[in-house]
């Protein structure tokens, strides 16, 4: 019987009288990319700290590939690769020296470590930087070296806290290309927090937290579909008459502030039918599909907090 990559069951985290995580349960099958979103104070970092074994919850169970972090902490931690927001590479050492230090820390045999270093540097196209001191690398390249280091001991679960903060758009794109390759080629499971909503689109599953609890979760497509906000928007010189004609043709029409909205699960396919149903000219017509921004706004509407 196969295990989930991780299981968080009824996790509670308190700081004094403040409940940071309130009975949260979260699971992932192996090989899944999961994005963790939420405003400041939602409990994201607290949950990551619990899963990474950096903190103990007040109550609840944490298992990593079936190993309970309380009863089998060493076995559980051996399955973890961690990349946190703060840079932790030794700037005075070269890329290769940093990787060898990590390999020795995890007790890897020399031949195994050498093979893994070669494999991962080649896979992420970093071999040319192996003898470059970290202080001479760009922020994006240094971040990718941290990914190599996190995977050196072959963990099954990679935990990332704001992995692309401070990187330029091109570097962010390359980091996410690498993470998808790790999933597809190595089968690595990844849980990452981010404040860039566009990065949630890379995930197989999105989890949105507010006020210490999960307010919404699912695939990007499912979460967008749940909003039922897909529509065709149009303007005419007489929207009242247009609305009457469209309703008579069986369309679900809503009067907006400046235009009509015709709701449909497949708006692209309805444009031609809508135009044919009208007996007056169309001034403008556009298709609107909900975005992750819309999903996030709906899920966090009551929190009143800014995104971290």
Does 212 have pLDDT greater than 80? yes
Mind listing the pLDDT tens digit for each residue in 124-158? Answer: 999 999 999 999 999 999 999 999 999 999 999 99
**Res 228: pLDDT:** 82
Distance CA(59)–CA(51), nearest Å, equals 13
Write the burial class of residue 135 (CB in 10 Å: 0-12 exposed, 13-18 middle, 19+ buried): exposed
Instruction: Say which residues have a Cβ less than 8 Å from residue 180's Cβ, sequence separation at least 6.
Output: 33, 202
Mind listing the pLDDT tens digit for each residue in 157-178? Answer: 999 999 898 899 999 999 999 9
Closest CA to 147 of 138, 139, 136, 158: 158
Q: Give percent above pLDDT 70 in the chain.
A: 97
Residue indicated by tokens 């502030």: 257
Does 302 have pLDDT greater than 80? no
Instruction: Specify the range with the lowest mean pLDDT, choosing from 6-10, 187-191, 266-270.
Output: 266-270
Q: Does domain 6-224 have CATH number 2.170.150.70?
A: no
Distance CA(256)–CA(186), nearest Å, equals 49
Q: How far is CA 159 from CA 29, 52, 155, 189, in A?
A: 14, 7, 10, 9
Q: What is the mean pLDDT of residues 36-47?
A: 94
pTM of the model: 0.85
CATH number of 230-289: 3.30.70
Does 1 have pLDDT greater than 90? no
Residue 146, phi then psi, degrees to nearest 5 = -65, -35
Does 255 have pLDDT greater than 90? no
Give the pLDDT band (50/70/90) at residue 308.
Answer: very low
Domain ranges of the chain: 6-224, 230-289
Distance CA(5)–CA(49), nearest Å, equals 16
Distance CA(260)–CA(274), nearest Å, equals 12
Residue 172, phi then psi, degrees to nearest 5 = -60, -45
Q: Give percent above pLDDT 90 in the chain.
A: 85
Residue pair 195/280 in contact (Cβ under 8 Å)? The answer is no
Mind listing the pLDDT tens digit for each residue in 58-76? Answer: 999 999 999 999 999 999 9
Beta strands in 113-169, from DSSP E residues, in sequence order? 157-161
- Report the mean per-residue pLDDT for the chain: 93
Mind listing the pLDDT tens digit for each residue in 258-298? Answer: 899 999 888 899 999 999 999 999 999 999 889 999 999 99
**Res 277: pLDDT:** 95
Give the pLDDT band (50/70/90) at residue 257.
Answer: confident
Distance CA(201)–CA(223), nearest Å, equals 11
Instruction: Say which residues have a Cβ less than 8 Å from residue 210's Cβ, sequence separation at least 6.
Output: 38, 39, 42, 299, 300, 302, 303, 305
């Amino acid at each position: 019987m196969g295990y989930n990559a991780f299981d968080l069951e009824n996790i509670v985290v308190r700081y004094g009288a403040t409940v940071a995580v309130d009975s949260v349960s979260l699971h992932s099958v192996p090989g899944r990319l999961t994005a963790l979103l939420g405003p400041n104070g939602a409990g994201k970092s607290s949950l990551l700290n619990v899963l990474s074994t950096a903190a103990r919850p007040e109550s609840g169970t944490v298992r990593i590939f079936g190993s309970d972090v309380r009863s089998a902490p060493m076995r559980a931690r051996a399955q973890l690769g961690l990349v946190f927001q703060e840079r932790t590479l030794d700037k005075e050492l070269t890329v290769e020296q940093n990787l060898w230090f990590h390999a020795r820390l995890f007790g890897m045999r020399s031949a195994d470590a050498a093979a893994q270093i070669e494999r991962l540097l080649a896979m992420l196209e970093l071999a040319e930087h192996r003898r470059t001191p970290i202080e001479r690398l760009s922020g994006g390249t240094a971040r990718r070296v941290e990914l190599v280091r996190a995977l050196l001991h072959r963990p099954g679960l990679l935990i990332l806290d704001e992995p692309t903060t401070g990187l330029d758009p091109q570097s962010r794109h390359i980091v996410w290309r690498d993470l998808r390759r790790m999933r597809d080629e190595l089968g690595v499971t990844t849980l990452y927090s981010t404040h860039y909503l566009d990065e949630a689109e890379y995930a197989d599953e999105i989890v949105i937290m507010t006020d210490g609890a999960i307010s919404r979760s699912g695939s990007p497509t499912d979460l967008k579909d749940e909003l039922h906000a897909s529509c065709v928007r149009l303007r005419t010189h007489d929207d009242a008459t247009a609305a009457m004609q469209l309703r008579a043709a069986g369309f679900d029409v809503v009067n907006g502030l400046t235009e009509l909205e015709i709701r449909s699960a497949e708006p692209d396919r309805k444009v031609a039918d809508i135009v044919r149903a009208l007996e007056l000219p169309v001034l403008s017509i556009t298709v609107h599909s909900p975005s992750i921004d819309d999903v996030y706004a709906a899920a966090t509407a009551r929190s009143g907090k800014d995104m971290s």
